[in-house]
Structure 1
Amino acid sequence: MWLSCAFLILNMPTTKDKTDLRVAIIHDWLTGMRGGEAVLEALLDLYPLAELFTLIHKKGSCSSKIENRPIHTSFVQKLPFSSRLYRHYLPFFPTAIEEFDFHGFDLVISSS
């Protein structure tokens, strides 16, 4: 699967420069720095103008490379105690992700 994803990215039409692409990166939750967030930082290096979409964002829990971006959160962010007990809201996650609007983006990358 990763090989096919890499193939698709490398063979994207080059009608736009990489910096002209409107890119959205979806990451499950931003509540600390772990391995997934290191991968997210690498993606942000590749797409410096990318916007981040996440279920939950605990401000100040990630690196400045991540924190200094436009970060769009889902309705789960507004639920009680979501920054600590977000995993208890697992049944809401699919609906929360589906409510994001990615129209107008040239590339949407999911990172977890």
Structure 2
Amino acid sequence: LRGVKNVQNEARILLERVGLGDRTHHYPAQLSGGEQQRVAIARAFINKPVLLFADEPTGNLDTDTSESIEDLLFELNRDAGTTLVLVTHDMELAAKTHRIIRLRNGMLASDQLTGKAEAVQV
């Protein structure tokens, strides 16, 4: 992992932040869909990316798990100062972001700022 010192410790910290500190030795098949999604989020942030694309991050999850994943994603985004690009059909999720860009038939249909103060601007 690109120069991250003490990778195991960093991974453990991220897994604890996503609520899976006690599941570090489990295989993916032993985790629920929501737990697997949280592992994916931890993996996405381990390299402290400047830019992170999340394609339908809550698409296959139930409502409660989706909200938990959204909160976690935005929290890690704020803490890391990462530019987060969400690809989603969920307009409720999109409304929680700083900016919404809509595409229609592969063309830019609209571009609007939402005014969400908690969104990170880089």
TM range (shorter): 0.3 to 0.5
TM-score, normalization by structure 1:
0.35
TM-score, normalization by structure 2:
0.33
